[in-house]
Every structure is written in structure tokens, then in C-alpha cells.
Structure 1
Amino acid sequence: MPEPSQHRDAGRPLDLEEAERLAEALRAFGSASRLRLLWALIDGEQTVEQLGAAIDMEQSAVSHQLRLLRQQRLVAVRRDGRHAHYRLFDHHLPDLLAALRNHHEHVNPPRA
């Protein structure tokens, strides 16, 4: 995983190939259940059982969504015997999730 000093300039022009890869990555955020799982992991590592209880979702559905998030490298897993412990893939994700929520609140202000 690149360190911040190893990232290329985010302001550089976006070519078609990279735009397509980014669009594919953003599709992972297009599900309310996946967003809720990511939010639940902001506070740290959790098992499938803990995540299911946290967002009131069946464990089989949680496992399916986590598999999709792993494929997009949004979550990582650590195995400990029979248990799988999931965490956010990297340090960028809490800020990205916060920016998504803040943008949504900006363009859709809460009604009084």
C-alpha cells in the first residue's frame, strides 16, 4: 500500500482507463448495506456476527456484502481459527466515508 508521499498528484487529468476503474470502485458504495458495513468498521475490526448485530442484517447477507467489499479492497480480513475479523482496508476510507456523508448533507440539508 503506497504511503501518502508515494501517491501521484490527485489533480492530474483523468484518462478514460482510470475513470473506468474508479467508476467500478465507486459502485461498491452504491448499496446501503455495504455503506452501513463500512461505517460499522470505522471504529475498528469486527466479526461477521458483530457486524450483523450492529446493522441488523443476516450473517449470510453480511458475508456476501463483505466478499464484494473485499474484492474492491475496501475491507481486509484476518482469520483467527473459525472467526474472520474484518477491518477497513486502509487509512483513506474513514475520510472518504466522512466526505461522502458531508457532501450529502451539504446538498441535502436536514429539514427543520
Structure 2
Amino acid sequence: MPHPSEHSSAARPLSATEAEGLAASLQAFATASRLRILWALLDGERPVDELVQASGLSQSATSHQLRLLRDANLLASERQGRQVFYRLHDHHLPDLLAAMRHHHEHVLIAGAADDGPVVPEPTARRA
């Protein structure tokens, strides 16, 4: 469990630099194959061959996606003999993945009730 002083408030203003960094980080979540790999790691560390099977990708494509996820600091890896094992980088990722899925479910449920996707109302600008 993280210590309360580990992070500053998420509600603090977002600088342009931080917004750019967050946008770049979120691009790592932008493909279904990478999401399937991340979900496969929610239960813990797994070797590459299990991630190939879980993702439904070829060995080469899985390795490429694993490299991108590792480069984005979403995964950590450890070599044990001839096998490489991957795990989620830190304790924030399971909560983030759950929040993404729950938001998606919420949008689907609301969209089904309204016969269409939910489109947020534009907010009025403050003078």
C-alpha cells in the first residue's frame, strides 16, 4: 500500500508539460493487443509463452508489444534461465486498468439505456 505522502493531490492543476507527458503515457494503452497483455498480468508475473497465448498474437508481435509496454514503464521483466517473465511495473496499474474497464462498462450501460453513446455536455467557460 502506498504511503499517503507518496503522491501529491491528483486534483492539482495540470501543467502543459505534465499533460503532454500523460498523453504520451496513455498512448501505450491505445491498442487492444497491449491491453490484453496488461490484463493477462493482473494475476501476477507470467512468462512470454503464456502472454503469447493470452494475447492471441504471434511470438514476434507479442515480443514487440512487450517491448513497447516495458519502454513505457508499464511492465518490468526478469530473466530466469532461458525464459523472460513479465509483471506489471507498479501497484497503480491494477487500479488504473480496473478504472478504465469500469468507465467503459458505465458508458456502455448508459449508452444502451439512451439508445446511443453518452456524449458529455460541453462545460461553460468561466469568464
Opposite residue 18 of structure 1, the aligned amino acid is E
Residues 68-87 of structure 1, C-alpha deviation per residue, up to 9 Å, x if partnerless? 00011000001112111000
TM-score by length of 2: 0.82
Identity fraction in percent = 60
TM-score by length of 1: 0.92
Of the two, which has the highest radius of gyration? 2
Structure 2 partner of 1:56: 56
Q: How many residues align?
A: 111
Opposite residue 100 of structure 1, the aligned amino acid is M
Opposite residue 48 of structure 1, the aligned amino acid is V
1:3 CA displacement: 4.7
Q: Which aligned pairs between 1:1-112 and structure 2 lie closer than 5 A?
A: 3-109=3-109
Quick one: distance in 2 between partners of 1:98 and 1:55?
A: 18
Whether contact under 8 Å (2:55, 2:62) holds in the other structure is no
Structure number with the bigger relative contact order (C-alpha 8 A, sep ≥ 6) is 1
1:5 CA displacement: 2.2
Opposite residue 93 of structure 1, the aligned amino acid is L
Gaps spanning 5+ residues in structure 2: where? Answer: 113-127
Structure 1 partner of 2:118: none
Q: Give the direction of change, closer, same or farther, for the CA distance of 1:73–1:57 in structure 2 (3 Å limit).
A: same
Quick one: distance in 2 between partners of 1:54 and 1:34?
A: 11
Whether contact under 8 Å (2:36, 2:54) holds in the other structure is no
Whether contact under 8 Å (2:47, 2:85) holds in the other structure is yes
Q: Secondary structure at the match of 1:8?
A: coil
Gaps spanning 5+ residues in structure 1: where? Answer: none
1:4 CA displacement: 4.5
Opposite residue 99 of structure 2, the aligned amino acid is A
Opposite residue 33 of structure 1, the aligned amino acid is S
